[in-house]
Structure 1
């Protein structure tokens, strides 16, 4: 976790800054708040102080006769400054090296890392002057989170580019910005979620997979610097930022998407719960309900993981094994049959770690006979442990 100075400049999106501060604290970061004079026309010092858990750095505090240089103290304390919202004026001052308010002076005083969450009218964001300032700041190593496309604050402006990212996404972006890029150069292909095998236009066979584990792997790899393609079955999860997402439904569609991108990848993590069977016949029209018993004939789907293993070469290949019992020997057999580097064994019937759970506990089984137990923890942490082993194999 990091020491984060959240600086609000003067835009209506400053109303969201207290929520951002609370989310950062909940994530474990140590935070302080800074507000320009214009920002305090939209949000009160009290709301910022309560959210930050401490005093707010303001223009008034800057000029108190304490003998201290508040902007110097803030720049030295912060491991990262997140300007949210970031107005066109704040960007311009920083790009030009001005220091006529507390925010610009703090940035000029040697702030270690700086990230901006722009919030302004689309015309202002797209103006050549603003884009020039953005490029200047990027050249100095500053990061930009957004802006997003959506409803603009001014009456009658409709939608456009310039809306500040929501606090939840800003927290995710900041964590990614702070994460060491130890997977830089890795091209990772990840599968996630269930597949659907249609009986007719409205009925299908599927499973309860939420896709959370595969998405966690994709997001963790992205934050660690990898280039990631995520092939996802139907889920309720939003597309992760910074990841190429390919949406599919059936096992056959997933197979095609995976094989088309397999040559590109250095490593593959197959976390999807792919259906083993599909209906032998798919009806073009919905079949009316009848009281009589109906028999359904199924045919096997292609074994995608086995196909990948047959073409493995020097790639790192990771599979998953979902079991209801111990399953260690079955997982080891699957590992060898499908030519995997290691397999992730987890259980569908253990309370708190089954389908759709935010947590997981797994056993990693390796080709050389090693077994590593990963105790119950958030799926993002499980993903990082999987990626630690992918990194070691990729680098070897």
Structure 2
């Protein structure tokens, strides 16, 4: 998918610069056109002649070497680029880029460029974990720079840990996948995903909830983001890491989830409501812990708001995906929910067995759409299930674009 793409490869002064020669070769084999820009320190490790031979093009290493009078070289290269890749990226180049310096050809090009920038860090593990380096990376990420994470292992300095530049074939595959994502029908679409349980307190020490782990919703959010969507994840109380590229909003109660989701809903292109929201909550919440007493104890419950039904009522052109978690008669209950709540897709989720449903890493599901036969899926991991769900969503987004 890199065929015909213009790639500027920035090589900086680290021992991993030797890998950059193989990387330039891999990019060219993938169909890209490559121009190499080297820092002075990079030339201490590998010569410009190596890259000139691999790319059949001049190597840029001097901001003031204007070999073509009709062009300003750093502007011309920046305008030519479809993407800039810095590999290896040392701690020094991250600091230079984060602070906006233009000390050499590479940093000057970075300031002039308007294309995507990718960075493959390579340094000692202690340098990589240093707060200053982390701060610079965070600054660059906030500006849209995308990082290709280093690997862990034996480093040239003798330390063992994270900091080894990603392998050339992995970087090439990463860029190809990014290009695929940018061309996806999901690219730029706003997708809202809900995940996890809600907690409904009766007093400060007691709560009504369910066993939802949030794994399915988090897998769905990760999958939508991997396809290029702008994903917002509204998560109940779970201990899961936020997927890369996903904005997370934490909530606790059904009412908080209702308020958050309905507020965000009007600007969304699709909603995947995987959260297991409590159907009931205590009518009154005691400010103090209720003490133990003899005999039975009754708590009066009331219905929470039906978030999915409300989204179905408000729906304009959003693609609405709901879940039906059932222990029996799965297809009947799922089809009923599809119709009653004005859904586009319902995912029937069989619960009650050791290998499917709450807390498990796998799901046994069926996907239903209006007027169609159910798509019964084999036992899948929740990550694999998320792929199938968004495969089903894709035609709806294409329909809306046509």
| TM exceeding 0.5 | yes
Distance 1:135 1:356 in 2: 48
1:161 equivalent to 2:136? Answer yes
Aligned twin of 2:287: 284
Distance 1:132 1:345, change over 3 A: farther
Give the superposition deviation at 1:373.
1.2
Which segment is superposed worse, 225-234 or 271-280? 225-234
Structure 1 runs not aligned, ≥5 long: 15-34, 38-56, 63-69, 81-87
> Do 1:115 and 1:143's aligned partners in 2 also have CA atoms closer than 8 Å?
yes
Aligned twin of 1:343: 346
Give the superposition deviation at 1:134.
3.6
Aligned twin of 1:126: 98
Q: Deviations over 1:159-181 (max 9, x none)?
A: 63248856599889948626432
What are the equivalent positions in structure 2 for 1:131-210 lying under 5 Å apart? 132-135=108-111, 139=115, 141-144=116-119, 152=127, 160-162=135-137, 165=149, 167=151, 174=174, 177=178, 179-180=180-181, 181-210=184-213
Residue 264 of structure 1, aligned match among 257, 262, 267: 267
Distance 1:268 1:79 in 2: 37
Distance 2:227 2:40 in 1: 27
Give the superposition deviation at 1:253.
0.2
1:237 equivalent to 2:257? Answer no
Which segment is superposed worse, 268-277 or 350-359? 350-359
Give secondary structure in 2 for the equivalent of 1:240: coil
Distance 1:250 1:376 in 2: 31
Give the superposition deviation at 1:292.
3.6
1:36 equivalent to 2:17? Answer yes
Distance 1:184 1:152 in 2: 35
Aligned twin of 2:356: 353
> Do 1:190 and 1:229's aligned partners in 2 also have CA atoms closer than 8 Å?
yes
Distance 1:311 1:297 in 2: 30
Structure 2 runs not aligned, ≥5 long: 3-9, 59-80, 139-146, 153-161
> Do 1:36 and 1:101's aligned partners in 2 also have CA atoms closer than 8 Å?
no
Q: Deviations over 1:39-61 (max 9, x none)?
A: xxxxxxxxxxxxxxxxxx69xxx
Give the superposition deviation at 1:89.
6.9
What are the equivalent positions in structure 2 for 1:45-124 lying under 5 Å apart? 73-77=25-29, 100=48, 115-116=85-86, 118-120=89-91, 123-124=95-96
What are the equivalent positions in structure 2 for 1:291-330 lying under 5 Å apart? 291-330=294-333
Distance 1:286 1:232 in 2: 26
Distance 2:373 2:131 in 1: 63
State the Cα RMSD in Å.
4.3
> Do 2:12 and 2:90's aligned partners in 1 also have CA atoms closer than 8 Å?
no
TM-score (norm 2): 0.67
> Do 1:151 and 1:160's aligned partners in 2 also have CA atoms closer than 8 Å?
no
